[in-house]
Structure 1
Amino acid sequence: MSALLPKGLPAAEALSREGLDIETFEPSGRARDPDIVVAILNLMPDKLATELQLIRMLAGGPRRVEIVLFATDSYMARVRDPAYSSANTPVEHLRTFYRSFSEVRDLEIDGLIITGAPVEKEPFEAVPYWEELLEVFAWAEARSTGVFNICWAAQAALRHFHQVPKYVLERKKFGVYEHRIESDSELLAGFGEGFRIPVSRHSEIHREDLPESPDLVVIADSEGSGLGLLEDRRLRHHYMFNHFEYDADTLAREYQRDVEAGQPIDPPVGYFPNDDPAQAPVADWVEAGRRMYQNWLAIIARNKNSEK
């Protein structure tokens, strides 16, 4: 069925061209009769690319899913300053399609996705919006909203709720890695024994730092890249350290960017055919990614219906 998106959102046009069913509504309004509403707290600099990637994962399933895009209050205050300029996302896009957290917190939200952010090397408390993120966590916890935390957001949530530290890596963990499914979970229904998924991060968490709790479960890990996916059954959080949503060329663009910037970077592991950066990579993780996100939406829908 449909993804319900604000009229004029670039992702709406792009996904329509891909053959996905898209319905639109006025950016200042709301969709009519969605099955579930998913809010995305987008912390990435290139917000358009992240929007498209995540909405592609959420679209095309059996439910009408309304997408609400938002950012922190302090960020949106800057965006709405007439003098503000942005190096990564057009200002008018932000002003048109993004709400502040204060404008979202009273909406009926069924599921929340929090993206990664390029702040992995910084201590959590040094991140300028750390306290605002804690407010979002508290808001979701009070409402029992299902939360899907990606990459740095997963590390941040584990730090906040379970006091799990992160460790900055000497070299970026970078490539497409095999993951083994360790525990049964509805999130990975239909997956078989494992999956491949893009990895791109400068930090990690360690299994030995996880608290012993029947509610916090390791779902998947990787011999090459470490812990990959955890489930918090009490809080209804999922902690995904990697990126099913990535496009085929995302790691290639990151690699070329780092090479041009003179950063110490190796070609991404298990990504380019024959490990040759001149060959075009294939996004062999996309089908698994769609399945996982659709499974997550099914969990969100079931929880919503059970609370009626």
Structure 2
Amino acid sequence: MQPLKIGILNVMHDKAETNARFTKVLTHAGVPVELHFYYPKTHYPGGVPADVGRILAPLDMTAAARMAGFIITGAPIEKFAFDDVTYIDEARALMDVLAVHRVTQLYLCWGGMAALDHFYGIKKHMLPHKLFGVYPHHLIAPSSLLAGLPEGFYAAHARYAEMDRDQIDADPRLRLEATTTDGALFLAGNRQAQQTFMFAHLEYGQKGLLHEYQREVAAHPDRFYRKPEHYFADPATMSGPQFKWEQTQHVFFDQWVARVAKEQQVKERI
């Protein structure tokens, strides 16, 4: 079996750690994969930092069109209007290439927001405060990507914005598959277009939320930041971060890789 070629546009702040996370979750099932990590060229008009150039390649649309699957990661920029993001035109062009060539697409957190805005005109709004922590989830519709998970399965969220659920529900092309038990978006998709939109950070390892909190506090020590909820064994001391979403992580990414393989086989037969 030839390795599945999967491209990843890495626009996270911690690029080396993000590469390592996706390598781990996408190889967990043991399916041979060949991962290609990219950065958006328009994000670095003054020159690519050496640490970025060592681990990421400049986005190549021709190569992206040949991938079996492609992921656009989250990014800590959901407070910005989409049009104010330096590389949004390049990201949108990539989305169009993936759609035209029917590459199996996975859009995560900010990537999911940008894709829903671009393809379907779904509006983004800011939350009263950051959705940050580990939450139980409710299955709304059957999903092959969540098959085998129990009602109340856990996932880790970390975002300041949300997409308009009423618009998603009203669009016949889209299907909302799961939310938190409080109604925050988790998973939506358009199977006909081979698109999945996931609004949690399932790729995070056990200390992912802790590291995100520490990064924000270090960047702006004068500001107040909410600690991740339902995460620490001892919230008062922030000790004992719990990996409650590990099962969800394995189920989702294993089954997404299986979907990529299946849809690639279909394309090769056509």
User: CA–CA distance in 1 between the matches of 2:90 and 2:241?
Assistant: 38
For structure 2, which runs of at least 5 residues remain unmatched after alignment? none
Residue 102 (structure 1) aligned with residue 60 (structure 2): yes
Which residue matches 2:237? 277
8 Å CA contact 1:112, 1:146 repeated in 2? yes
TM-score w.r.t. length of structure 2: 0.91
SS at the partner of 2:77? coil
Runs of 4+, deviation exceeding 4 Å: 76-80
- 2:159 pairs, out of 186, 201, 204, with 201
Q: Look up the equivalent residue of 1:269 and give its one-letter code.
A: E
Deviates more, 1:192-201 or 1:295-304: 192-201
| Higher CA-based Rg | 1
The answer to whether the aligner puts 1:297 opposite 2:265 as a matched pair is no
The answer on 1:185 being equivalent to 2:153 is no
**Does residue 267 of structure 1 match 2:227?**
yes
Give CA deviations for 1:145-185 in whole Å, capped at 9, x if unaligned: 11111111101100011100111123211111111111111
Q: 1:76–1:128: structure 2 CA closer, same or farther, 3 Å change rule?
A: closer
Distance between the aligned counterparts of 2:177 and 2:95, measured in 1? 22
Q: Matches of 1:288 and 1:167 in 2, distance apart?
A: 27
Give 1:277 deviation, angstroms. 3.3
Q: Distance in 1 between matches of 2:21 and 2:195?
A: 21
* 1:54 maps onto 2:12 in alignment: no
Pairing 1:222–2:180 present: yes
1:296 alignment partner AA: W
Which of residues 150, 156, 164 in structure 1 aligns to 2:114? Answer: 156
1:112 maps onto 2:70 in alignment: yes
Determine helix, strand or coil for the equivalent of 2:250: helix
The aligned counterpart of 2:209 is: 251
Residues 263-303 of structure 1, C-alpha deviations (whole Å, 9 max, x = no match): 22222111111433342112121222022111001111111
Q: Could you tell me how far apart the structure 2 residues matched to 1:135 and 1:216 are? A: 21
2:89 corresponds in structure 1 to: 131
Aligned to 1:4: none
**Paired-residue identity, %:** 28
The equivalences for 1:81-92 within 5 A come to 85=49, 91=50
Tell me if the contact between 1:173 and 1:225 (Cα under 8 Å) persists in the aligned partners: no
**What RMSD, in angstroms, separates the aligned Cα atoms of the two structures?**
2.0
Which amino acid letter does the alignment assign opposite residue 253 of structure 2? Y
Distance 2:216 2:76 in 1: 14
- Measured in 1, the distance between the counterparts of 2:183 and 2:169 equals 21
- Cα gap change, 1:169/1:107 in structure 2, threshold over 3 Å: closer, same or farther? closer
Counterpart Cα distance in 2 of 1:105 and 1:183: 34
Aligned-partner Cα distance in 2 for 1:97–1:167: 33
Q: 2 CA distance for matches of 1:196 and 1:219?
A: 15
Which residue does 2:9 correspond to in 1? 41
Give the deviation of 1:65 after TM superposition.
0.3
Equivalent-residue separation in structure 2 for 1:156 and 1:60 (angstroms): 28
Cα distance in 2 between the residues matched to 1:68 and 1:111: 10
Aligned residues: 266
Give the distance between the partners of 1:149 and 1:158, measured in 2 at CA: 9
Q: CA deviation at 1:223?
A: 3.1
CA deviations 1:67-109 (Å, max 9, x no partner) are 00111122466445xxxx4xxxxx1x43233222236536620
Corresponding residue for 2:39? 71
Contact 1:73–1:102 under 8 Å retained in 2: no
Amino acid corresponding to residue 17 of structure 2 in structure 1: A
Structure 1 CA distance for aligned equivalents of residues 242 and 144 of structure 2: 27
Q: Which of 263, 267, 270 is matched with 1:307 structurally?
A: 267
Distance 1:140 1:287 in 2: 29
Larger displacement relative to structure 2 (66-75 or 158-167): 66-75
